[in-house]
Amino acid sequence: MNRQSKLSEMMMAFFVSTACITILEGTMGMLFFPDEKLTYHAFFAPPIMGLCSVLFGFVTWSKRELTIKETLLRRGIHLLLIECLVFGLNYVEGIIFPFKVAISLILGIAVVFVAVYVVLWVNDSRSAKRFNKKLREYQKKVI
Amino acid sequence: MRVSIKKILNKDEEQVIIECTQVTPDIRDIEAYVMGKGTELSGITEEQHRKQFHLQDVYYFEALDEKVFAYTKEQVYEIKMRLYEVEKAYSNYHFVRCSKSVVLNLMLLDSISPAMSGRFFAHMKNGEKLMISRQYANQVKKIVMGGGKDE
């Protein structure tokens, strides 16, 4: 993977995670804090969290090719770092979530994390489909 | 060892003759090298028999423990070439490097499907599944798709 395709993959991960975090925040807010009033600052939370999540992806980076097992392990660490970031920032702000909210948030973050990889996988799948079509043409042309 | 090259007119009569007092491993290496230069290759089977096979029947070449193997539908041959030599010598015959240890035949590739982290699975026409590493994925795509935007 060259630098350009890596960058476009990171951009895609950023936009998908920002959109998913917005949905997650909205859903959790409506469910657990329906009377809470937010300021304009709240609009910046999803992109900032999205950016941090993408940057934490450095743990999945490696110069050598990782095995499937190693990749999964590093993705687990990546998810753990994001969970720590969310709970850590809230703790610094003096917010400690009740048990029910905390569990919902942990699961919500995991769902967003998986959703981002699903979107990236769908993109790769579309790319593979186009390749397979061109491969047929290539093989016919040579024969 | 003396080497002489004689020019002839008829292409069909081109040949390499090795004159030696004894068939040593060095001579065998030279023989294997010469055999590897055409599209008919020479390799050693698992039963330790030297056999000829056609390049177009090779699904892929794989480097394992300092040795290089050619995989056809029925046989696996050990060949006396390095993987980078295979990659260089047969790039014009639609062979392309798809990972650190594998050079595959695009003509016998059935399809690809996404794996993890920008990697792809290569499904060969004999049903075998190989890995296209993210380092070589763009190179493979470029050859088939003609260096288009889809990388």
**pLDDT tens digits, one per residue of B131-141:** 999 889 989 99
The CATH number of the structural domain formed by B16-145 is: 2.40.50.1020
**Mean pLDDT, rounded, for B26-38:** 75
Note down the domain range covering A29: 3-142
Burial class of residue A119 in the structure, from the number of CB atoms within 10 Å of its CB (0-12 exposed, 13-18 middle, 19+ buried): middle
In percent, how much of chain B has pLDDT > 70?
Answer: 93
Tell me the pLDDT band of B92, cut-offs 50, 70 and 90.
confident
Q: How far is A97 from chain B (nearest CA, A)?
A: 34
Predicted local distance difference test score (pLDDT) of residue A105: 93
Predicted local distance difference test score (pLDDT) of residue A103: 95
Predicted local distance difference test score (pLDDT) of residue B52: 87
Q: Can you tell me the ipTM of this complex?
A: 0.72
| SS3 track for A55-116 | HHHHHHCCCCCCCHHHHHHHHHHHHHHHHHHHHHHHHHCCCCCCHHHHHHHHHHHHHHHHHH
Residue B54 pLDDT exceeds 80: yes
In the beta sheet, which residues pair with residue B63?
A: B68
Predicted local distance difference test score (pLDDT) of residue A47: 95
- Domains contained in chain A, number: 1
Residue B150 pLDDT exceeds 50: no
**Mean pLDDT, rounded, for B74-78:** 93
B100 part of contact set with chain A, CB < 8 Å: yes
**The Cα angle at residue B59 between residues B55 and B63, in degrees rounded to 5:** 90
Predicted local distance difference test score (pLDDT) of residue B149: 44
Residue B2 pLDDT exceeds 90: no
Contact A4 B99 (CB under 8 A): no
Predicted local distance difference test score (pLDDT) of residue A82: 94
The token duo for B72 is: 């056809």
B151 part of contact set with chain A, CB < 8 Å: yes
A127 part of contact set with chain B, CB < 8 Å: yes
The token duo for A55 is: 């940057």
Predicted local distance difference test score (pLDDT) of residue B35: 67
Tell me the pLDDT band of B151, cut-offs 50, 70 and 90.
very low
Domain boundaries, chain B: 16-145
The token duo for B70 is: 């050619």
Predicted local distance difference test score (pLDDT) of residue A1: 58
Nearest to B144 among A5, A138, A143 (CB): A138
Which parts of chain A have pLDDT scores under 70? Answer: 1-2, 143
A62 part of contact set with chain B, CB < 8 Å: no
**Mean pLDDT, rounded, for B6-20:** 85
Compute φ and ψ for B121, nearest 5 degrees.
-90, 135
Contact B94 A5 (CB under 8 A): no
Predicted local distance difference test score (pLDDT) of residue A6: 78
Mean pLDDT score of chain B, rounded to an integer?
88
Residue B39 pLDDT exceeds 90: no
CB contacts < 8 Å between A and B, how many? 64
Residue B120 pLDDT exceeds 80: yes
